[in-house]
Structure 1
């Protein structure tokens, strides 16, 4: 499933609402740490696309299918944001007082895996979360930990 994103900062809130509704439709409760973390990741990646490219983007969410043999409590959720800018993500360090520049550091700290690839139309930044019922850290603790000892990155 995917959502077209216009190059407008108001689209970030719309993307979060869209992601929450898709998660609920797939059986992932809003109060699960996975849902909280995924919505935060949507917010960061869509913000980067809107602010740093100024071009339309596409948000894609691949949720667990729950098919035969699939464990509902252990599956991978994949998030992608594709834009038409071919420019690679640029890593930058943000000092303690900076109000931006930590987006990809947060993605790095929260996602189980993430990366980016070029394609014919531009690039895709993706991340994956493994849904584990016994995940020990709530999303808020993970978010705080993401800022400790990580360089800050900015996708452009």
Structure 2
């Protein structure tokens, strides 16, 4: 599933609405914490692409097809800038600069790579059986717990 994003800050709201609509057809319930976390990360990554590049971007979601206690959601934003994403640490009074720090804190994994004449920023969020998650909410295994995207559904829109 993908959405083309124009270089306009109003596109951030459209990206959130689009992501919520995609969730409606997936195995992720709109009211589960994973869905809210996903929407927040969509907002942060699309905002970064729109504000910091001034170029069009593409938002992609890879969602589980069927209900499962454990699943991985992958989110990607591709833009036309080769500038590397750099997390910033800001003072409490600043109104911006926390997006990648939020992504780092909320996603199970994230990173970026060069993509043609631009870059792709990606993150993955895992859904886990809450009864098996250790204290702190993150499952054991870290990057080793990666599930290949082939197990997830893609849909072109």
Q: TM-score, normalised by structure 2?
A: 0.80
After the TM superposition, which of the residue ranges 37-46 and 127-136 deviates more from structure 2?
A: 127-136
Per-residue CA distance 1:20-65 (angstroms, 9 max, x = gap): 1111110311110000000000000000000000000000000113
Task: State the partner residue of 1:48.
Answer: 48
Q: Which runs of 5+ in 2 are unaligned?
A: 138-157
Distance 1:131 1:95 in 2: 32
Distance 2:129 2:59 in 1: 26
Change (3 A) 1:137 1:8: farther
Distance 2:16 2:97 in 1: 20
Task: State the partner residue of 1:13.
Answer: 13
1:127 matched to 2:123? yes
Where do 1:101-120 residues align within 5 Å? 101-120=97-116
Distance 1:44 1:16 in 2: 10
Per-residue CA distance 1:101-135 (angstroms, 9 max, x = gap): 00000000000000000121300100000012416
Where do 1:6-155 residues align within 5 Å? 6-66=6-66, 72-134=68-130
SS in structure 2 opposite 1:77? strand
Per-residue CA distance 1:56-111 (angstroms, 9 max, x = gap): 00000001133xxxx61211000000001011113322111110000000000000
Q: TM-score, normalised by structure 1?
A: 0.81
**Count of residue pairs the alignment pairs up:** 134
Task: State the partner residue of 1:143.
Answer: none
Change (3 A) 1:22 1:47: same
On the 8 A contact 2:44/2:100 being kept in 1, the answer is yes
